[in-house]
Structure formats: C-alpha cells, structure tokens
C-alpha cells in the first residue's frame, strides 16, 4: 500500500544520523531541538517513519540544508542511509 | 567500531533500551494493578460469602486473608519500586515526553480507581450470561460516579494529549491503531451478530466487543510507535 508523508515509512533514505553525529548530538538532543519524541527521531533515522512536510522543513532549517539534501526518495541519489 | 553503530552515542543505545524498559515497566504496572483489583475482589468475595453463611471468622479464613493481603502488599511494593524507577528515568526526558508520561500515569490512575470502585461495589462479578464479563448491577450512585469519571476525565485527558503531548509519530501510530480498531469493530461485531442469529454463538456482548477493539487498537498503536 502506497503511503503518504507523516505515515509509516517507505524506507526513504536520509542523512539524519550522519548530520546528528557530526554535531555530536544524541537522539534526545535532536528530539528536543525538533520538539518531537526520541522515538520519532529514531523512527525517522531508521526509515520506519517518513516525517511530514512541516517537520522535514524544520529538520532542513535546523541543519541549514535543503530537504532533498537530507532525504532521498530513491530517485535523486542525494542522501545516504 | 566502524559504520553506523560508531555514530550512535551511548545514550541512543540507552534510548532504545529505555523504550523496552518503559514498555516492560508499563506492562508490569498494568498487570500489578489488575492483580490488586483481583485481590480486593477476592477479599470482598471471601468475606461476603462467609457472612452470608453466617459463619464465625475462623483461623482458616484469617490465614487465607493474610496470604492474600501479603501477596497484595508484595505486588504493591513491586509497583512502587517500578514507579520510582520510572520517575528517575523521567528526568532524562524532554518536556513533551514528560507530559506523555504524565498523561499515561493519570490515565492508569483513573483506570485503577475505576477498577477499585468496581471491585469494592461487586461490579466485577460475572453476570448470568456465558460470556458477559461485568453485567452485574451496580448501585446507582456508583454507576453515576463511574460514568461521570469516564465521560469527563477521558475527553479532557484525550484533548490535552492530542493538543500538547502527541507528536506526529505518536499521532500517526494512534491513527493506525484507531483504524484497525474500527475495522475490527466493523468486521467483528456484525459477524458475531450474524452467527448469533444463526444460533451458533451466544448473543453479542458489548463489553467483550469494547475490550477486543481496545486491545487491537492498543497493540497496533504500540507496534507502530515502537517497531
């Protein structure tokens, strides 16, 4: 079943874990900055949950990157898991 | 260590472990609560049966009551220790998670209070039906009090939870659980009703349907949130 954003992930790859590690942030640190739970950060990092567009924009702003530089839907090949 | 594991800070690994611990702790507290309610009901049942028979309080009855009371005290102590551990781990949570924990605690306390009131009023005794779980009559005052708790506390708590607590992962998991619960109801209730009309099963029981729907929604929600 095809799912939309804000739902269970389609395994969309992202660089969240790498970006977080570069800043020496824990999942809890990132969760606090994004105002979500640690579970949400973990689920996004592992591709089990695709963030909504507003959250994706918040993530992009936090890291100073465009959304497609963080998330990869499998067609652009930008992001690495 | 190389690869993604090297990028994980220790508290991330602890976070995953912490989620499992929190789930286990919640399950233990729920089971403990049920056991305590069962214990209260057992004591009330033993005493009322004894008084109905008009028997004097003998050593056998006292020893049974002491055993039940000791078991309940042990369970209460275990629950207290689990709750203290939960409070300690709470200090590492962000504000949203802390509010989530608070709502869960209040919901469990309300549930436990309802359970105790039901147990004390004898409302947990099985009814005459083969499947009915709790259709024994309640005193009107107890029924009105419990209905008011459910009708007022549940919407207020739910409103607060949706507005201030749930993040989008939680909301998505909740929607998934609610959807599966709804389908369980849409499929299960008419199936049972039709089979009953065919004389194959006992009449549909609202309490059983409610519990099954709640269980399915809860399991799907937990799986969606913590998988």
**Alpha helices, DSSP H only, in chain B?**
4-7, 10-53, 59-90, 95-121, 140-160, 168-197, 206-226
Chain A residues touching residue B169 (CB < 8 angstroms): 36-37, 39-40, 43, 49
**Cα–Cα distance for residue pair A54/A35, rounded to 1 Å:** 12
More confident residue, B62 or A60: A60
Q: Residue B86: which pLDDT band, with cuts at 50, 70 and 90?
A: confident
Q: ipTM value, please give it.
A: 0.78
B2 touches chain A (CB under 8 A): no
Torsion (CA) A56, A57, A59, A62 in degrees, nearest 10: 180
Contacts of B17 (CB under 8 A, 6+ apart): none
B19 touches chain A (CB under 8 A): yes
**Cα–Cα distance for residue pair A38/A35, rounded to 1 Å:** 9
The angle, 0 to 180 degrees and rounded to 10, between the axes of the packed helices B10-53 and A27-34 is 80
| pLDDT digits 0-9 by tens, A5-55 | 455 666 678 999 999 999 999 998 999 999 898 889 999 999 889 999 999
Distance from CA of A61 to the nearest CA of B (A): 18
A residues 38..67 contacting B (CB < 8 A): 38-40, 42-43, 48-49, 51-52, 55
> What is the pLDDT at residue B161?
87
> What is the pLDDT at residue B5?
44
| pLDDT digits 0-9 by tens, B167-190 | 899 899 999 999 999 999 999 999
Nearest residue of chain B to residue A5 (CA atoms): B172
**Cα–Cα distance for residue pair B157/B139, rounded to 1 Å:** 26
Q: What is the number of CB-based contacts under 8 A between chain A and chain B?
A: 69
**Cα–Cα distance for residue pair B197/A10, rounded to 1 Å:** 43
């Amino acid at each position: 079943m095809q799912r939309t954003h804000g739902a269970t992930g389609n395994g969309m790859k992202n660089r969240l874990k790498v970006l977080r590690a570069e800043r020496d942030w824990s999942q809890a640190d990132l969760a606090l900055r994004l105002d979500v739970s640690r579970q949400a950060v973990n689920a996004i990092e592992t591709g089990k949950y695709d963030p909504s567009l507003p959250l994706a924009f918040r993530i992009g702003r936090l890291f100073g990157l465009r959304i497609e530089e963080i998330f990869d839907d499998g067609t652009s090949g930008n992001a690495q898991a | 260590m190389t690869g993604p594991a090297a990028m994980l800070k220790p508290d991330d690994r602890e976070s995953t472990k912490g989620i499992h611990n929190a789930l286990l702790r919640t399950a233990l507290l729920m089971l403990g609560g049920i056991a305590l309610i069962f214990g209260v009901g057992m004591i009330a049942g033993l005493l009322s049966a004894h008084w109905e028979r008009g028997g004097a309080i003998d050593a056998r009855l006292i020893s049974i009551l002491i055993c039940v009371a000791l078991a309940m005290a042990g369970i209460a102590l275990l629950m207290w220790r689990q709750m203290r551990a939960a409070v300690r781990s709470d200090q590492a949570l962000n504000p949203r998670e802390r509010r989530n924990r608070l709502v869960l605690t209040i919901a469990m306390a309300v549930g436990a209070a309802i359970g105790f009131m039901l147990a004390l009023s004898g409302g947990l005794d099985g009814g005459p039906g083969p499947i009915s779980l709790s259709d024994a009559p309640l005193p009107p005052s107890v029924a009105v009090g419990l209905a008011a708790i459910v009708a007022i506390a549940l919407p207020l708590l739910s409103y607060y939870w949706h507005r201030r607590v749930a993040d989008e992962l939680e909301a998505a998991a909740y929607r998934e659980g609610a959807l599966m619960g709804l389908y369980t109801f849409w499929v299960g209730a008419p199936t049972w009703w039709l089979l009953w009309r065919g004389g194959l099963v006992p009449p549909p029981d609202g309490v059983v349907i409610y519990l099954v729907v709640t269980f399915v929604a809860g399991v799907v929600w937990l799986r969606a949130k913590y998988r």
